[in-house]
Amino acid sequence: MDPKARAEEIFRAVREEGRKELMEHEAKGVLEAYGFPVNTTRLARSREEAVRLAEELGYPVNLKICSPDILHKSDAGGVRVGLSGREEVERAFEEVMANARAYRPNARILGVTLSQYVPQGTEVIIGGLKDPTFGPVVMFGLGGIWVEVLKDVSFRLAPLERVDAEEMIQEIKGFPVLQGLRGKPKADLSALVDMLLRAGRLLSDFPEIAEMDINPIFVFEEGKGAKAVDARIILS
């Protein structure tokens, strides 16, 4: 299916439910349609379905509560990572469902999401927002403390040319980290350029995207790519 048509299908289903914020599996579905490398994420509405999907994805897997009313899943005790077998998935399903109900008794709970476990890489963030004057804007930065505390980010209007994406990466103060600092291997910068171009195209195609956060993205050493591990999209 055409990427734009697939994304429109997901956005339409979200709006029909009276929501503006996509769940993780929906946001990743949009990114997958646009060719982003993501850790495949699927929704399970029952314990049995959770086990079946975990075995289809292949262990280890991560499991998270899926609720439009619980945005900070970790605070609700709604996240389990690195589950390595059927019994662990069954136990995690029961635990996160119980924790979520205790945390917010009136929350709408859709089920849980199962996703492939991804080994740690260098964390980066790609974001997007709609500027009231200039329209869709793409943001890039290192993840973690770099973006939260130091605000070490760069911006460009969407869509992007390759030179724009390359400049965005090189502009941030943390660029030496990606070049390979203190004996660490150089990060796969071409994979990040590709993801930035795809983000620019997505934001340009859908000016109704008010906010987008692809965070964290784990980028691996040169030649080994990058993977979007979590994603959030809010519609205007």
**pLDDT band at residue 85 under the 50/70/90 scheme:** very high
What is the model's pLDDT at position 147?
79
Q: Is the pLDDT of residue 146 over 80?
A: no
Per-residue model confidence (pLDDT) at position 8:
97
Phi, psi at 163, each rounded to 5° = -65, -35
Q: How far is CA 9 from CA 5, 13, 28, 33, 56, in A?
A: 6, 6, 13, 11, 25
Amino acid at 78: G
Judged by average pLDDT, the poorest of 27-31, 45-49, 145-149 is 145-149
Cα torsion 224, 5, 25, 128: sign: positive
Write out pLDDT tens, residues 191-235. 999 999 999 999 999 999 999 999 999 999 999 999 999 999 999
What is the sign of the dihedral through the CA atoms of 63, 46, 30 and 148? negative
Per-residue pLDDT band for 171 (boundaries 50, 70, 90) equals very high
pLDDT band at 148 (very low <50, low <70, confident <90, very high): confident
| pLDDT at residue 48 tops 80 | yes
Q: State the fold for domain 122-235.
A: D-amino Acid Aminotransferase; Chain A, domain 1 (3.30.470)
| CA distance linking residue 14 with residue 21, whole number of Å | 8
Categorize the per-residue pLDDT at 163 as very low, low, confident or very high, splitting at 50, 70 and 90: very high
Identify the pLDDT of residue 129. Answer: 95
Q: Which two tokens stand for residue 132?
A: 């009231």
pLDDT score at 184? 85
Angle in degrees, 0-180, between the axes of helices 24-33 and 189-205, rounded to the nearest 10:
100
Is a pLDDT exceeding 90 seen at residue 151?
no
Taking Cα atoms as reference points, which of 196, 183, 182, 204 lies closest to residue 226?
A: 196
Confirm if 213 and 153 have CB atoms less than 8 A apart. no
Q: What is the DSSP string of 108-177?
A: ---EEEEEE-----EEEEEEEEEETTTEEEEEEEESTHHHHTS--EEEEESS--HHHHHHHHHHSTTHHH
Whether CATH 3.30.1490.20 fits 40-117: yes
Helix locations, 34-85, DSSP H: 47-57
Q: Mean pLDDT across the stretch 120-141?
A: 95
pLDDT at 71: 84
Q: Where are the domains of the chain?
A: 40-117, 122-235
The token duo for 176 is 């030496």
Q: Which H/E stretch holds residue 12?
A: helix 3-16
What is the average per-residue pLDDT within 24-29? 96
Q: How confident is the model at residue 72 (pLDDT cuts 50, 70, 90)?
A: confident
Position 61 pLDDT exceeds 90: yes
**Mean predicted lDDT score pLDDT of the chain:** 95
For position 80, what pLDDT does the model report? 96
- Find the mean pLDDT for residues 73-79: 95
Candidate from 38-47, 52-61, 136-145 with smallest mean pLDDT: 136-145
What do you get for the CA distance between the two ends of the chain, in Å?
25
pLDDT band at 149 (very low <50, low <70, confident <90, very high): confident
